[in-house]
Amino acid sequence: MRVSYGEDASETIVFAAEELSGYLGRMLAGSGSMEGEIFLSGDGGALTDGRDAYRIRIGEHGGRIEGKNDRSVLLGVYDYLHHLGCRFVLPQKEYEVVPLIGKGKLAAHYEREAAYCHRGVCIEGADSFENVMDYITWLPKVGYNSFFLQFKTPYAFLSRWYDHMENPYAAAERYTQEDAAADLERFERAAKKRGLLLHEAGHGWTGEVLGYQTVSWNAAKSAEGKQLSHRMALLNGKRALFHGVPANTNLCYHNTDAVDAFAGLVTTYAKEHPQADFLHVWLADEYNNLCECQGCRGTTLSDQYVDLLNEIDKRLTEEGLKTRIVFLLYQELLWPPETKRPGHPERFVLMFAPISRTFEKSYEISCTAAALPAFERNHITLPTSLDENMAFLRGWQAVFAGDGFVYDYPLGRAHYGDFGYVHIAKVIHADIGKLQKMGLDGYVSCQELRAAFPNALPNYVMAYTLFRRETQAEELIREYFMALYGPDWKKVCSYLSGLSDLAVCDYINGKGERCDERVAERMRRAGELCKSFEGEIARHTDRDGRWESVFWELLDYHRNYVMKLSEALFFLAQGEKEQADKKWEEFREFICKKEQKFQPFLDVYRILEITQKYTGLYR
């Protein structure tokens, strides 16, 4: 079966042809001689506007895959392979399910359009170069169209891995900012080869305005950069770095010098990085540290933010740049501006980031909007209720009617409280189903890339639901578990669903009292459930102890992980802090010693950071 394309085909179309040819070669092996041709045709580019769409018209002897744009052709190729039985269950290629088929199975006639424009993932956690590259490779296979590399380089995330932060059993490896810059170029090339839309920057602008090279949340070194203290927010009578961290330090936005420098940095970056389809312009990554000078007190941060965005838009327009600017509804910026409005809505994309929301349930969309709490400078409390979060979004939408998407965190912290991953997958599915009613056109997940423990079900559900909103969660769960666990998939599904029924997502995330009998009881039951499933997992090894597949070996490791972590959480919820910390140390030793073997699946750095910083263990 030949795969062909036009003479002027783009790199993305050529790559799509190579992928289709390679997979079909494996799937049709041994099916006998045959002749035919599949022709790939796109619209000539990876478009930033509009929804991806493709048409499949293939019979036993070939046909066509046509896309609205070149990226859509690649998405169509992968969806056709999915239609033929391929299952792209994890970012790592070696775990794909690629069946053997006969040529009679090739016929397919259907067309699809993505439910949402924005469908992507943002890097977080601790990642190796291979982790990031594997993830970029996987994104279009399951229907995503975007990838977000935070800061100006991904140094923060890769250095965590190569430094082996939180793992005393692994020796630190050298990783520099120059390494991160070189890796960034390789990530960008891999993304563009696949037609993916690139989101860049976000954090770090305020530190750069203050003269610091800001590529992480690290505290500033005394000799680094030139402090421009007059640009800093005046807080408690002083202009200084907030807790010593440039990325977390707000500016005095009444200071025209600070605004001019900020707008100039963004404009220069946009000129030098035309590969960035969406450039994120965010402020400090901490709240309750706004400038208290008289000029700033006379307005709101959101009004000052809109003024800054309009100045950036003006400069980009003068330079003839079409870069889209993403602005952030987050912390103090959840409160809508009182008087200012974005001058050219087509330039901007609204990003709603309800980081403090609960993940015990899905978004709430009530008929009567909740009243917004009064804004108190440097004394705000972030909303946890979903109804209140929606009220903030509605407030912004009343003054901005342009493009927008949600930037959410189900796999950033809360997922560690759902041991089965079925609950969080269903919350994600339900959230995505409500985006249209929320007036948003997509979803970008801020998350660990190594979030596949015991499997990658939540990301799988997220991807396919973003493309086809009508897809039922239960259908995706069944498809996924069948691909991983074979004939015994129902037993595994029941077991992991049972663990998910005991989820404590908010508790892990630091919400609620630390002494909680409900949580303690759930953790006791989780440990018992893990013990009861030991025999079923063990059945999937042979006499020599070899596992039937990596997925069953992962379940065994995961079972022990849950028993140890649930025990620490049980004692914490019982108020026995000393015993809880002791059990947490045992848990830490267990996962640190096994990290190298199970590296792609569990982000050891992140679970240890979360349980210390938010849950309250070992501090």
CATH number of the domain that residue 67 is part of: 3.30.379.10
Q: What is the pTM of this model?
A: 0.96
- Choosing from 113, 138, 166, the residue where a domain stops is 113
Whether 305 is in a domain gets the answer yes
Burial 22-55 (b: 16+ CB within 10 A, else e): ebbeebbeeeeeeeeebbbbbbeebbbeebbbbb
Mean pLDDT of 558-586: 98
Between CA 221 and CA 232 the distance in angstroms is 17
Q: What is the pLDDT of residue 35?
A: 82
Between CA 450 and CA 419 the distance in angstroms is 15
Between CA 603 and CA 451 the distance in angstroms is 7
Mean pLDDT of 226-251: 93
Q: Do 107 and 169 lie in a common domain?
A: no
- Choosing from 92, 113, 134, the residue where a domain stops is 113
Q: Is 76 strand, coil or helix?
A: helix
Q: Do 275 and 371 lie in a common domain?
A: yes
Q: Which domain holds residue 314?
A: 121-421+431-447
Q: 185-188: which pairs have CB atoms within 8 A and are 24 or more residues apart?
A: 186/129, 186/133, 187/132, 187/133, 187/136, 187/147, 187/149, 187/154, 188/149, 188/275
Between CA 408 and CA 507 the distance in angstroms is 18
Answer left, alpha or beta for residue 145, where phi above 0 means left and psi between -120 and 50 means alpha.
alpha
Total domains, the chain = 3
Q: What is the number of helices (H) and of strands (E) in the chain?
A: 20, 15
Q: At what angle do helices 457-467 and 422-433 cross, to 10 degrees?
A: 20
Between CA 619 and CA 617 the distance in angstroms is 6
Q: Is 80 strand, coil or helix?
A: helix
Q: Do 152 and 86 lie in a common domain?
A: no
- What digits encode the pLDDT tens for the residues 61-113? 899 999 999 999 999 999 999 999 999 999 999 999 999 999 889 999 999 99
Percent of the chain at pLDDT above 90?
92
Whether 288 is in a domain gets the answer yes
Percent of the chain at pLDDT above 70?
98
**Token pair of 586, please?**
């045992």
Whether 459 is in a domain gets the answer no
Q: Do 151 and 293 lie in a common domain?
A: yes
pLDDT over threshold 80, residue 490: yes
- Residues 6+ positions from 173 with CB-CB distance below 8 Å: 162, 163, 164
Q: Do 140 and 93 lie in a common domain?
A: no
Q: Do 101 and 159 lie in a common domain?
A: no
Burial of 468 (0-12, 13-18, 19+ CB in 10 A): middle
Q: What is the pLDDT of residue 562?
A: 98
Q: Do 441 and 588 lie in a common domain?
A: no
Sign of CA dihedral 350, 355, 357, 360: positive
Query: To which H or E segment does residue 295 belong?
Result: helix 294-297
**Token pair of 69, please?**
């744009």
**Token pair of 168, please?**
């005393």
Mean pLDDT of 514-534: 98
Whether 461 is in a domain gets the answer no
Q: Do 375 and 294 lie in a common domain?
A: yes
- Residues 6+ positions from 521 with CB-CB distance below 8 Å: none
Q: Is 39 strand, coil or helix?
A: strand
Q: What is the pLDDT of residue 577?
A: 97
Mean pLDDT of 344-367: 92
Q: What is the pLDDT of residue 68?
A: 94
Q: What is the pLDDT of residue 386?
A: 84
**Token pair of 458, please?**
């939540």
Whether 53 is in a domain gets the answer yes
pLDDT over threshold 50, residue 47: no
Whether 465 is in a domain gets the answer no
Between CA 166 and CA 603 the distance in angstroms is 11
Q: Do 192 and 249 lie in a common domain?
A: yes
Q: Per-residue confidence at 327, pLDDT binned at 50, 70, 90? A: very high
**Token pair of 137, please?**
């490779």
Whether 30 is in a domain gets the answer yes
- Residues 6+ positions from 36 with CB-CB distance below 8 Å: 1, 2, 60, 61, 62
| 124 contacts 450 by C-beta, under 8 angstroms | no
| 564 contacts 589 by C-beta, under 8 angstroms | no
CA-to-CA dists, residue 593 to 40, 168, 419, 584, angstroms: 48, 9, 20, 14
Mean pLDDT of 7-19: 96
Q: What is the 3-state secondary structure (H, E, C) of 105-132?
A: HCCEEEEEECCCCEEEEEEECCCCHHHH
Burial of 292 (0-12, 13-18, 19+ CB in 10 A): middle
Q: 79-88: which pairs have CB atoms within 8 A and are 24 or more residues apart?
A: 79/54, 79/112, 79/143, 80/20, 80/56, 80/108, 81/20, 81/23, 83/56, 83/108, 83/110, 84/27, 84/108, 85/27, 86/23, 86/27, 87/479, 87/480, 87/483, 88/138, 88/141, 88/142
pLDDT over threshold 80, residue 226: no
- Choosing from 66, 82, 113, the residue where a domain stops is 113
Q: Do 53 and 197 lie in a common domain?
A: no
Whether 478 is in a domain gets the answer no
Burial of 394 (0-12, 13-18, 19+ CB in 10 A): middle
Q: Is 251 strand, coil or helix?
A: strand
Mean pLDDT value across the chain:
95
- Residues 6+ positions from 591 with CB-CB distance below 8 Å: 561, 602, 604, 607, 608
pLDDT over threshold 80, residue 34: no
Q: What is the pLDDT of residue 223?
A: 57
Between CA 183 and CA 202 the distance in angstroms is 18
Q: Is 465 strand, coil or helix?
A: helix
- CATH, residue 129: 3.20.20
Q: What is the pLDDT of residue 297?
A: 96
Q: Do 169 and 106 lie in a common domain?
A: no
CA contacts within 13 A on the Cβ side of 538 = 8
| 327 contacts 305 by C-beta, under 8 angstroms | yes
In degrees and rounded to multiples of 5, residue 394 shows phi and psi of -60, -35
Q: Do 23 and 91 lie in a common domain?
A: yes
